[in-house]
Amino acid sequence: MSDDLPIIKIEGLSKAFQGPDGEFFALEDINLEIKSGEIFGIIGMSGAGKSTLVRCINFLERPTQGTVYFDGQNLSDLTKKELYKIRQSIGMIFQQFNLLMQRNVLGNVCFPLEIAGVEKDQAVERAKELLSMVGLSDKTYAYPSQLSGGQQQRVAIARALATNPKVLLCDEATSALDPATTKDVLMLLKDINKNLGITIVIITHEMKVIEEICNRVAIIDKSRIAEVGSVEEVFTRPKTAAAKRLVFPEEHSIEMVPGKRCCRIVFNGNSSFEPIIAGMVLDFRQPVNILFADTKNIDGKAFGQMVIQLPDNELTASRMMEYLRAKNLTVEEVDGYV
């Protein structure tokens, strides 16, 4: 398998459900390619179709239309048995962890191996190995009800990795966890991606999750993919309204100030912004009004945007914009609120 062959390829996928008033499309014309070894994020509002999409990737949900290729194989072509087999190479974790409550931790991690027909001794050995990897060796014989949410999710991760999958699907895997635990779990996923080379698909409604670990992101809005690209690209220069809504939700509160010129400055990791604005104000001896600022730390670099109100004077305003552009910033004039 060549490296640039996508591990998951989705073509023209639609999924219709029988709703109370006729057919309802939870997904429409989805096209996506997920590369081997990447951490791919899918973000969208509640009800956008994220879970349905991720369930189509392992055919827990059969698409109404379109094709899903996993590792070059068209899933629609597979027999039931072949599909069961291929699911062993697609691990999945969930918001509610979904552990077997009547089995202890070891039993849970052994479960997929039992299903795959692995011998008991081997399964136990592998399970113990995985439990030590997720840092839960001391809970081997505990039951899920005796564990915290974060620990349960670690067990679920160990379980999902038991059969050496190529891909790990995560449906809101951190949404039931507190921020600190979320971070721990995300770091664990990042390590798994780096050390085991497992492709990770992360479904979430939280920007933070995407920023923290994803390489690329798709924004799903009202059953359709609105935008796909690198996290950097999409989060600094969202093109579609849906993406803007997600990336800069606070923008709606910026009021239009009549007669004054506003411009949006985009920081793309080349500079930090405070000195630039401060420097500009000093150089021009003219105040600017910061209407909105939102920066994020992505992969150790500063990204974000700021909306500032320039002085009334046309000439000063356009010179200021030139000044900013000279500093390698993307500057665009916006009317009113953006």
Partner 1 sequence: MFDPEVWIMLGRGLLESLYMTLVSTALAYLLGLPMGIAMVVTDKEGIYPRERFNWILGLIINLFRSIPFLILLIMVLPVTRAIVGTTIGTNATIVPLVIAAAPFIARLVESSLKEVDKGVIEAAQSMGASSMQIITKVLLPEARPSLIVGAAIAVTTILSYSAMAGFVAGGGLGDIAIRYGYHRYQTDIMLVTVVLLVLIVQVLQEAGMRLARLGDKRK
Ligand X SMILES: Nc1ncnc2c1ncn2[C@@H]1O[C@H](COP(=O)(O)OP(=O)(O)OP(=O)(O)O)[C@@H](O)[C@H]1O
Give the interface with partner 1 as residue ranges (CB under 8 A). 58, 60, 80, 83-88, 90-92, 94, 96, 98-104, 111-112, 114-116, 143-145, 156, 163, 169
Which of ligand X, Mg ion, partner 1, none binds 193 (CB below 5-8 Å, type-dependent)?
Answer: none
Of residues 174 and 268, the one with the C-beta less far from partner 1:
174
- Looking only at the bridges linking them, the beta strands covering 90-94 and 167-171 are parallel
Of 205, 245, 260, 296, the one binding ligand X by CB under 6 A: 205
Q: x/- contact string, 165-204, with ligand X (CB under 6 A)?
A: ----------------------------------------
Nearer to partner 1, 166 or 261 (CB): 166
CB nearer to ligand X: give 19 or 279: 19
β-strands 199-204, 39-43 pairing: parallel
Count other Cβ atoms within 10 Å, centred on residue 146.
12
Q: Are strands 216-221 and 289-298 parallel, antiparallel or unpaired?
A: unpaired
Helix, strand or coil for residue 2? Answer: coil
Among 41, 44, 107, 238, which residue sits at the site for ligand X (rule: CB under 6 A)? 44
Contact 213/39 with Cβ under 8 angstroms?
yes
27-56 residues in contact with Mg ion (CB under 5 A) are 51
* 84 contact, one of Mg ion, partner 1, ligand X, none, CB 5-8 Å limit per kind: partner 1
Q: Of 52 and 305, which CB lies nearer to ligand X in the complex structure?
A: 52
Q: Of residues 32, 36, 50, 136, which one binds ligand X by CB under 6 A? A: 50
Binding mask 294-333 vs Mg ion (x if CB under 5 A, - otherwise)? ----------------------------------------
d(CA 285, CA 309): 15
Query: Helices (H), strands (E): how many in the chain?
Result: 11, 14
> Exposure string (b/e) for 78-100, b if CB count within 10 Å is 16 or more?
eeeeebeebbbebbbbbbebebe
How many C-alpha atoms does 103 have within 13 Å on its Cβ side?
15
CB of 63 to ligand X, least distance (A): 13
Q: Measured between alpha carbons, how far is 58 from 30 in angstroms, rounded to an integer?
A: 15
Nearer residue to Mg ion within complex by CB, 51 or 58? 51
Q: Which is nearer to partner 1, 83 or 331 (CB)?
A: 83
Q: What are phi and psi of 111, to 5 degrees?
A: -50, -55
Selected range binding ligand X among 40-48, 102-110, 135-143, 233-241, rule: CB under 6 A: 40-48
Residue owning tokens 């001391």? 138
Q: Which is nearer to Mg ion, 44 or 144 (CB)?
A: 44
Question: Least distance to Mg ion from the beta carbon of 51, Å?
Answer: 3
For residue 176, CA distances in Å to 37, 127, 312, 323 come to 26, 25, 49, 46
Among 8, 10, 13, 26, which residue sits at the site for ligand X (rule: CB under 6 A)? 26
* Closer Cβ to ligand X, 44 or 238, answer by number: 44
Q: What number of other Cβ atoms are within 10 A of residue 183's Cβ?
A: 17
Is the CA virtual torsion 48, 179, 99, 111 positive or negative?
positive
Residue 149 has φ and ψ, to the nearest 5°, of -55, -45
58 lies in the site for ligand X, by CB under 6 A:
no
- Token pair belonging to 252: 């709606």
- Cβ at position 71, least distance to partner 1 in Å: 15
Return the exposure string of 53-64: e unless at least 16 CB atoms fall within 10 Å of the residue's CB, then b.
bbbbbbbebebb
Q: Which residues make up the interface to ligand X (CB under 6 A)? A: 17, 26, 44, 46-52, 205
Q: Which residues make up the interface to Mg ion (CB under 5 A)? A: 51
